[in-house]
Amino acid sequence: MSALQEKARELLASAAVQVVIGYGRGSGGAARAVFIREATKAGDLVFDGTCLQNLAVYLMKPEVRKLGKAALVVRPATLRTILQLAAENQIAENSLLALVPSAEEIVLLATFAAIEAHVAALDSDLSTAEKAELQRFTALGLDERRRFWEEQFSRCLKCYACRAACPLCYCTRCTVECNQPQWIPVPAHDLGNLEWNVMRAMHLAGRCVNCGDCSRACPVGIPLYLLNQKLVSDVFTGFNSRSGISARSDNALSTFKPNDPEDFIR
Amino acid sequence: MPDFEPKIVAFVCNWCTYAGADLTGTSRMKYSPQVAIIRFPCTGRIDFMLLLKAFASGADGIIVSGCHPNDCHYSSGNFHARRRWIVFRGLLDFLGIDVRRVQFSWVSAAEGAKWAQLVNETAEHIRGLGPFTGYQRLRGLGVE
């Protein structure tokens, strides 16, 4: 039994938590989310390089919340998601445990302060490769960028898998479901696809922790991560603000500084 | 395109720019008639989706204007709006949408002359850029 399975068994057996949300083996060897509620089932848990999903997405589901206190198997981005959700008053202190799998032992983080300390030791900046890709894309001409996104968005099906996969897209009533007025047209055509993708990106500006689940969920492979990383980068350079590093910080777009840059305003 | 007259939509706040534009009129200053003014309670209310809808409805250019910093009727609406504009402009540019078609400005209730100048210069600028066919073509592909 791996250290992770052992830890999960222990937590469930002692009733410290009612459910362990982790990764299990799905069809074709793919990793999938599993919800372990009995100590005897702890052996179903796995953790390896295929386990990429940000499991914090389930923390916002009422049917998961009903299960009771959860222990969540986390990756670095998952921890930042938890802090961001806490900062947005979406999850309460002591409502979950975070299990950080590592080679030797399982680190258990029980408080937001412990998660903050853990995240502080990680590098939350975009990676060098991500920055380079962003730089390359920004260096393209305006028309080239437009053609690129037109081609990308023309494949969008409006399936909203990006929204479903995103742990921070938790509104119970999304703007796309509002039809008075109809902000986003229902059919998947180029104008509506652009509007949807602009809106999705804007609503995540200053909140997205760059976990990459939207891009992984997209069935037609639209590189949504580029939009998110652009906003992550702009919010950091413009406002010196980073999401998901504190359980108490304000979102960049719900606060301001009197001396924010305004060279573009007449 | 010598006959091209741009359609410009101005999103303005009730307390400063709308009053400023009113002053332009009551001072009998003439300015470009291509602008359609839409009055909002505050720049903080001017959602980025409204700007996209204006372009989708055929606007060639957009003016967004409100109270100067520290003059907001609700004390901080324009500060919040400014942050949103910074992020939104960056995103539009990243998507290949020409941000020169959106002019942001602070026009107070006393700046009737600034409003006239802003509209005139924006109209001239947009006339130079021509119709916003890139965006209007997208609208043609839709069903609306």
Query: Cβ contacts (< 8 Å) between A235 and chain B: which residues?
Result: 87
What is the layout of strands, in order, in the sheet containing A70-73?
A31-36, A19-25, A70-73, A96-100, A107-109
pLDDT value of position B134: 86
Residue A209 has pLDDT above 80, yes or no: yes
The verdict on B129 touching A (C-beta cutoff 8 Å) is no
B64 three-state secondary structure: strand
Is A260–B86 a contact, with Cβ atoms under 8 angstroms apart? yes
Is A191–B80 a contact, with Cβ atoms under 8 angstroms apart? no
Residue A71 has pLDDT above 80, yes or no: yes
pLDDT value of position A41: 96
Domain boundary among A79, A97, A120: A120
A40 lies in the same domain as A71: yes
B57 three-state secondary structure: coil
A46 lies in the same domain as A76: yes
Total residue length of chain B: 144
The whole-number average pLDDT for the span B91-96 is 96
The verdict on B138 touching A (C-beta cutoff 8 Å) is yes
Lowest mean per-residue pLDDT among A66-70, A115-119, A183-187: A183-187
Query: Cβ contacts (< 8 Å) between B70 and chain A: which residues?
Result: 258
Choose among B91, B97, B144: nearest Cβ to A146: B97
- Enumerate long-range contacts of A187-192, CB under 8 Å, 24 or more apart: A187/A158, A187/B142, A187/B143, A188/A156, A188/A157, A188/A158, A189/B141, A189/B142, A189/B143, A190/A150, A190/A153, A190/A154, A190/B138, A190/B141, A190/B142, A191/B56, A191/B138, A191/B139, A191/B141, A191/B142, A191/B144, A192/A158, A192/B142
Answer yes or no: is A253 within a domain: no
A115 lies in the same domain as A136: no
A11 lies in the same domain as A115: yes
Residue B1 has pLDDT above 90, yes or no: no
Report domain extents, chain B. Answer: 8-138
Please tell me the total count of domains within chain A: 2
Backbone φ, ψ for residue A46 (5° rounding): -135, 160
Answer yes or no: is A239 within a domain: yes
| Alpha-carbon span B27 to B57, nearest angstrom | 32
Query: Cβ contacts (< 8 Å) between B95 and chain A: which residues?
Result: 145-146, 149, 194, 198, 227
Residue A28: give the domain boundaries: 3-120
Average pLDDT, chain A: 95
Q: Cβ(B48)–Cβ(B88) under 8 Å?
A: yes
Neighbours of B81 (CB within 10 A): 25
The verdict on A145 touching B (C-beta cutoff 8 Å) is yes
Is B86–A142 a contact, with Cβ atoms under 8 angstroms apart? no
Is B104–A264 a contact, with Cβ atoms under 8 angstroms apart? yes
CA nearest to A238 within chain B = B86
Q: Which fold has domain B8-138?
A: Rossmann fold (3.40.50)
Q: Can you tell me the ipTM of this complex? A: 0.92
For chain A, what is the HEC assignment? CCHHHHHHHHHHHCCCCCEEEEEEECHHHCEEEEEECCHHHHHHCECCCCCCCCHHHHHHCHHHHCCCCEEEECCHHHHHHHHHHHHCCCCCCCCEEEEECCCCCCEEECCHHHHHHHHHCCCCCCCHHHHHHHHHHHCCCHHHHHHHHHHHHHCCCCCCHHHHHCCCCCCCCCHHHCECCECCCCCCCHHHHHHHHHHHHHHHCCCCCCCCHHHHHCCCCCCHHHHHHHHHHHHHHHHCCCCCCCCCCCCHHHCCCCCCCCCCEC
The whole-number average pLDDT for the span A157-178 is 95
Choose among A145, A198, A261: nearest Cβ to B52: A198
Query: What single DSSP character describes residue B68?
Result: P
The verdict on B95 touching A (C-beta cutoff 8 Å) is yes
| Alpha-carbon span B4 to A128, nearest angstrom | 47
Answer yes or no: is A68 within a domain: yes
Answer yes or no: is A101 within a domain: yes
- Phi-psi category of residue A240: left, alpha or beta, with phi > 0 → left and psi -120 to 50 → alpha: left
The verdict on A136 touching B (C-beta cutoff 8 Å) is no
A216 lies in the same domain as A237: yes
A34 lies in the same domain as A114: yes
Q: Which of A223, A225, A185, A232 is nearest to A205 (CA)?
A: A232
DSSP element (H, E) containing B94: helix B77-94
| Alpha-carbon span B14 to B30, nearest angstrom | 21
Domain boundary among A120, A147, A166: A120
Residue A1 has pLDDT above 80, yes or no: no
Residue A135 has pLDDT above 60, yes or no: yes
Answer yes or no: is A228 within a domain: yes
Is B138–A143 a contact, with Cβ atoms under 8 angstroms apart? no
Domain boundary among A74, A97, A120: A120
The verdict on B70 touching A (C-beta cutoff 8 Å) is yes
Is A256–B80 a contact, with Cβ atoms under 8 angstroms apart? yes
What is the token pair recorded at A261? 């840059």
The verdict on B130 touching A (C-beta cutoff 8 Å) is no
Is A261–B86 a contact, with Cβ atoms under 8 angstroms apart? yes
Q: Cβ(A202)–Cβ(B48) under 8 Å?
A: yes
Is A142–B96 a contact, with Cβ atoms under 8 angstroms apart? yes
The whole-number average pLDDT for the span B79-83 is 96
Residue A239 has pLDDT above 80, yes or no: yes
